Chains A and B, each alone.
Chain A
Amino acid sequence: MNATNNNPIIAVKDLTIRFGGHAAVDQVSLEVMPFTLKSIIGPNGAGKTTFFNLLSGQYKPTGGKVFLKGKDITNLSAPMRCRLGLGRSFQLTNIFPLLTVLENVRLAIQARKGYGFNFWRHYLHFSACEDEAYQILKEVLLDEKWLYPANLLTHGEQRKLEMAILMALKPEILFLDEPTAGMSQEEVPAILEILERIKSMGDKTILLVEHKMDMIMNLSDSIAVLQDGRLIADSDPETIYRSKEVQEAYLGGGAKRE
């Protein structure tokens, strides 16, 4: 790989958040090397989504720090972090329900290009935006439904749209929270392919939360395991897969499947 840089692109130190008395993320320290794909796994409620929320700025931590390329971003707001290149998808579908599919994606591109505050020109004049949005929809196999309001999509399609919005943001770092949950078996490969392609371009860093072990094993450069908010392992896929602790806490018999 062309990783010229050996400093971690994201580093978190003793990151903690408490909701009332409960520590959803507890003293997690972790580094992500640039241009790699790191998976985060763990039982339900382990704190994966919360961890993402902390990185993308949806939540403010109770303690600890987040660094992006060595810079402390702990106190930046979500939109600011988004502009710095942190993009995320949501575990539970989070789209603009009444806008068309195309518009959903176009808005993301517009946000990236930063002319949200432009109010002098008709939005259709920014045609490059629309073309690009359409292109992305093609990639995630949603181009036929570009004129549908997003709330009329089925569950699986909404997941794909979520993915498309993220791709439109072209973030340097992608956080993917269970991108394939609810997607039909037939379509998972398409998403996998997208991920693989993004990965092979070699200029993106990806953090992935998934429960589909085969997918994780195929894609990941490294895997971190969370349990009860704590980081219990962080290593290469093989080691994790063999680790007894992980087997017991997370995989159960499911590891044997397919």
Chain B
Amino acid sequence: MTETILKRWDNELVIAGIAVLLLLPLFGMPPKTYLTLTIAGLAMGMLLFLVASGVSIILGLMDVLNFAHGALFAWGAYVGFSTFKLLEKWVQADSVLLNFGAFAAAIICAMTVVAVLGMVLERVIVRRVYGNHLFQILITFGATIVLVEMIRVIWGPNDDVMSVPLTFQGNWDVFDVIIDRYRIICILIGALVFGAVQLILKKTKLGLIVRAGVENRDMVQAMGHNIFLLFTGVFAVGAGLAALGGLAMSIFSLQVYPDMGSTYLLFAFIVVIIGGLGSVTGSLVGALIVGLSYNYVAYLVPWAAAGVNIIIMIIILLIRPKGLFTAGK
């Protein structure tokens, strides 16, 4: 019991340490700039969390390395893109309500379509490679090729511009600190997703069963749980989150292109690894660290920005070989 308490403490220490580190840059820049960078970094972190949450759930609960996450992510973006196209009127309208209507519709469409795609993926291929990381990497990478090519067939090989509702564009000028509207929305969505996922994992035994199923599928079945159905479900949820991430990211960067997923896949994995497998909180913290530190470093030492995520990951793993948070272990 003392052990668990110690562990709790451990996590709090981690958070405290990170907080101190993130305050340090304050000494190197004007406070206003710090504020701008911090808000932007938080939003970027939340976006990254959205991108990574699907990976985190699938890897943490099912122990599956889903390299197709990037492709699902792109699919989410494209379905959202098409939805916006269909609802062009709502998107262009100068009404917050209609704008949000279009946004909600895009989210729903993207998440459902991609969740179904995820289900198919799980049923047809991923199911065959449970417990074998290597094969998971390969088979999901094969799936990536197929999915991305399908995008090229359906939507064409060109890049396209995401037409974004007016409400989400522009910025607020708060006491001279310029705040991008969409970034605030990202922070809200990220928090919402985090809360929902936490709630499901903490308040139901779904997470437990799935984790148990990873260790010993036969045994969980012999306890009366239809583990395959659960796996499919979890995979679908992970895919749905990938879609949400893709949509959110494509609105942020205002564009969609078929292999956009590959750009963000590494980010997603870095975030999840930093955070520790199986810990959604860890992924959130990891994402925020990446988002914030990138901005600080890019401001203070621009030439180091390109490698900063990677170096953070290496350092964290050397200090804590299993990532910052290790859920329930």
Contact = CB atoms under 8 A, between A and B. Distances in A.
- A contacting B, Cβ–Cβ less than 8 Å: yes
Interface in A1-52: 19-21
Interface stretch (B1-9, B227-235, B284-292): B1-9
Contacts of A21: 1-3
Please report whether the interface of chain A is mostly helix, strand, loop or mixed according to DSSP: loop
Contacts of A20: 1-3, 6
Interface in B1-41: 1-3, 6
A75 B258 CA distance: 57
Interface residues of A, number: 3
B198 to A, nearest CB: 26
Nearest to A20: B3
B64 to A, nearest CB: 22
A20 B1 CA distance: 8
Nearest to A19: B3
A68 B1 CA distance: 35
A21 B4 CA distance: 10
A19 B6 CA distance: 12
Contacts of B3: 19-21
Please report whether the interface of chain B is mostly helix, strand, loop or mixed according to DSSP: helix
Contacts of A19: 3
Nearest to B7: A20
A17 to B, nearest CB: 14
A21 B1 CA distance: 7
Nearest to B3: A20
B173 to A, nearest CB: 53
Contacts of B2: 20-21
Nearest to B6: A20
Nearest to A22: B3
A21 B5 CA distance: 11
Nearest to B1: A21
A92 to B, nearest CB: 14
A19 B1 CA distance: 10
Nearest to A21: B2
A21 B2 CA distance: 6
A2 to B, nearest CB: 48
Contacts of B6: 20
B260 to A, nearest CB: 40
Contacts of B1: 20-21
A41 to B, nearest CB: 28
A19 B2 CA distance: 10
A32 B6 CA distance: 37
A21 B6 CA distance: 10
A20 B2 CA distance: 6
A42 B89 CA distance: 78
B219 to A, nearest CB: 16
Interface string B286-327: 000000000000000000000000000000000000000000
A20 B3 CA distance: 5
A21 B3 CA distance: 7
A111 B234 CA distance: 45
B11 to A, nearest CB: 16
A19 B7 CA distance: 13
Interface in A163-213: none
B7 to A, nearest CB: 9
A135 B3 CA distance: 48
A94 to B, nearest CB: 18
A102 B2 CA distance: 46
A215 to B, nearest CB: 31
B27 to A, nearest CB: 39
A15 B1 CA distance: 23
B8 to A, nearest CB: 13
B319 to A, nearest CB: 21
Interface of B: 1-3, 6
Cβ-closest 8 pairs across A and B = A20-B3, A21-B2, A20-B2, A21-B3, A21-B1, A20-B6, A19-B3, A20-B1
8 contacts: A19-B3, A20-B1, A20-B2, A20-B3, A20-B6, A21-B1, A21-B2, A21-B3
Given A20-B1, A20-B6, A21-B1, 5 more contacts: A19-B3, A20-B2, A20-B3, A21-B2, A21-B3
